[in-house]
A and B are shown apart, each in its own frame.
Chain A
Amino acid sequence: MKNNHRFRRVATAALAASLLVGGLAACSSPGNAGAEGATADDIATALQTETTLTVWGWAPQLEPIVEAFEAKYPKVHVNLENVGTGNTHYTKLQNAVKAGTGAPDVAQIEYNALPQFALSDALVDLKDFGAEELKDNYTESTWGSVSLNGGVYALPQDSGPMAMFYRADVFEKHGISVPATWDEYVAAGKKLHAADPNAYITSDTGDAGFATSMIWQAGGKPYTLDGNTNVSVDLQDEGAKKWTGTWNQLLKDDLLAPVTSWSDEWYKGLSDGSIATLIIGAWMPASLESGAEAGSGKWRVAPMPTYEEGKAAAAENGGGGDAVLKQSKNKAAAYGFLQFANGPEGSKIHAANGGFPSTTADLQSESFLNAESAYFGGQKINEVLVQASKDVVPGWSYLPFQAYANSIFSDTVGQAYGSKGDLNGGLQAWQDATAKYGQQQGFTVSTK
């Protein structure tokens, strides 16, 4: 009896130990099955075989794309799951990757989150499926965003070249001409606020995505990646300083509406014109139409102001694509889905449903360029936005832990916003905190 007890205890301990070890092993190697490519024939065959694909994404355009895909390939059944938007989605995806099981076949991933998943070996290098040939189908900047370390880790879906959305009625009322340079922009901000203390040239309470895009436009390259583990962070480079030089003036003189983006107050300000411009990605028109109906007919689009007169420059703000997970058991079919969703067929459906495409064919199509937007008083807004996509400054990259870096933006740069202090100091603090995190995560981080 006594022996029996001891045996049981030993057995339990052994079982527990093996479970723990098993758990650890599962953590450390998230499917390193090596290169698993497929030829065009393999992919075509896979699409004619009974299969079920799971797709995670929150873009509203995915639904009609999936419908069209299933109609074309009736043997492939797609489970489209919306597990959350942005960070919620990435957290779930990261957990599934870490657990070694439960990840979808295909996931929507924004450009700034892509390095995190690509470098942690969660995504399939689509070069093995011949994705390299598709390069010319997409704009240079979006293709640059999905090409990391010599691989291709997603196919672009939408893009967000930045432009200046402005209230023509407010500008006209106060006799302000549309600013073409940042100096003119600051002057316009001063003039507007002096004429009407309730009106602001724009709103900004600090937003990591906006700040990085602004540094991008100014020619800054704060994040560089060398191999898988060497990262450098330099938020004090010339581009960053150019941006803070302009933005500090607006901040110190109280010319930025103290209203947080996407809040109720924000939409109110966009509706009544107390927020007169927005420097934001080309996907904004759909949100304006639904969130600020009262602004209909009063908004217009112009190229983003620049630092040097007559020298166009823009940046990407948001946007993303779709990637195939290494955990997928149907990689060929999953890539087939990507070819459809992010190729000519899918991108047409995407654009028809209010998305801003990344495919050059759609961006150049007559019907897209000539579309007149009633909300924008009949302006052919796509002409301006497409030109912006061509003016995006090349050579930008994000950090492999950008999601975390963005989450601590308000702890650092946000403090400078709150106290109306010097944004350069805030950027320095952000750089330090980001570098510290990178080191904790095992990267070799250099700062300047």
Chain B
Amino acid sequence: MGWAFVGPFMVVFVLVFIAPVLYAFYLSLFQNQMVGGDKFVAGANYLQALSDPQFWDSVTRVAVFLVVQVPIMLFLALFAALALDSGRLRASSFFRISVFLPYAVPAVVATLMWGFIYGPRFGLFGSLNDFFGLDLPEPLSSSWVLAAIGNINTWEFTGYNMLIFYSALKVIPAELYEAADLDGAGTFRVIRSIKLPSIRGAIGIASIFSVIGSFQLFNEPNILKALAPNSISSYFTPNMYAFNLSFAGQQFNYAAAISIIMGVLTVVVAYIVQISGSRKDA
């Protein structure tokens, strides 16, 4: 009887989640060559990936991105959510919608838009340099491009995370604030002792989403690559590497192995984030 209830879910789950993962794993055990065809190679693709400098280069890059961009974005989102929740803003609904709006812009459009802004000669950066006689660094040069992508992502997702935090703040019972008021707690004391502890769950969720998002970085660099082909390599992020291996190089099997490794790595890191977030409860 129980199966009848979960059946519809299980069917979809197996079809769209379990089956593709198993198929990717199955693919990753083979090798296909233009000369020689298919052959079973067991774990050879995995061994190759683990000693592939290009793969590790891409993993390191998203790890750096994660460590720098995610805290900045979450801090900004938290700040915006607390400001909204404080009730001291004028036109707070306008503020809320305008911070959230970038999230509603499709990532592709957002990246193209920022690509034009970053343009060194005819873009906004070029114009600023010309007009004020500045010498701003080129955002699309190879040393700045990761920061430029971080900026796009922060712009896109701060509003989304703000909304998660804000909705968590909204459900804090008013009695707590009244009690704090009676005890003579100031604004910052309320934030530290009531608001932050209450939304820890929401912060944890937002962190995990952001970790996963960072590891899956693909759209922004892949689109900017058209504008800055020499700054963004074909193995800039693990996802781009897998994509280019399979669709430009027909190395579906090796790409499958890389995807599986990345999947496992993401799960491990997300789990570590979750553990370290919940340990503070104890």
Contact = CB atoms under 8 A, between A and B. Distances in A.
Interface of A: 24, 27-28, 87, 91, 94, 98, 116, 119-120, 205-206, 228-229, 257-260, 263-265, 268-269, 400-401, 403-404, 407-408, 410-411, 414-415, 417-418, 437, 440-443
Nearest to B143: A418
B142 to A, nearest CB: 6
B233 A410 contact: yes
Contacts of B226: 260, 263
Interface in B102-158: 116, 119-123, 141-142
Contacts of B119: 264-265
B234 A411 contact: yes
Contacts of A441: 33-35
B230 A27 contact: no
A264 B116 contact: yes
Contact of A414 (B32, B230, B244, B247): B230
Contact of A27 (B38, B123, B141, B233): B38
Nearest to B119: A265
Contact of A411 (B35, B141, B228, B233): B233
The list of the 6 closest CB pairs from A to B, nearest first, reads A442-B35, A442-B33, A418-B230, A414-B230, A407-B248, A442-B36
A403 B241 CA distance: 16
B interface: dominant SS: loop
Contacts of A404: 248-250
Contacts of A264: 116, 119, 122
B165 interface: no
Contact of B234 (A229, A268, A408): A408
B35 A228 contact: yes
Contacts of B227: 260, 263
A259 B121 contact: yes
Contacts of A116: 34
B122 A440 contact: no
Contacts of A24: 38
Contacts of A263: 226-227
A142 B65 CA distance: 48
Interface string B15-41: 000000000000000001111111000
A206 B230 contact: yes
A410 B229 contact: yes
Contacts of B235: 411
A229 B38 CA distance: 16
B231 interface: yes
A202 to B, nearest CB: 14
B251 interface: yes
A119 B248 CA distance: 17
Contacts of B249: 401, 404, 407, 437
B247 to A, nearest CB: 5
Contacts of B33: 440-442
Interface in B203-228: 225-228
A260 B116 contact: no
B255 to A, nearest CB: 13
B121 A265 contact: yes
B230 A407 contact: no
B38 A442 contact: no
29 contacts: A24-B38, A27-B38, A91-B247, A91-B248, A94-B250, A205-B230, A206-B230, A258-B120, A258-B121, A259-B121, A260-B228, A260-B229, A265-B123, A268-B122, A401-B34, A404-B248, A404-B249, A407-B244, A410-B225, A410-B229, A410-B232, A410-B233, A411-B234, A414-B229, A418-B141, A440-B33, A442-B34, A443-B34, A443-B35
Contacts of B234: 407-408, 410-411
Given A410-B229, A410-B234, A403 B38 contact: no
Contacts of A260: 226-229
A260 B140 CA distance: 12
Interface string B45-70: 00000000000000000000000000
Nearest to A409: B229
Given A407-B248, A411-B235, A418-B142, A229 B121 contact: no
A418 B228 CA distance: 9
Nearest to A412: B233
Contacts of B232: 410
Name which of B116, B121, B228, B229 has the most chain A CB atoms within 10 A of its CB.
B229
B248 A28 contact: no
Contacts of A403: 248
Given A27-B38, A410-B230, 12 more contacts: A27-B32, A260-B227, A260-B228, A263-B226, A269-B121, A401-B34, A414-B230, A418-B231, A442-B34, A442-B35, A443-B34, A443-B35
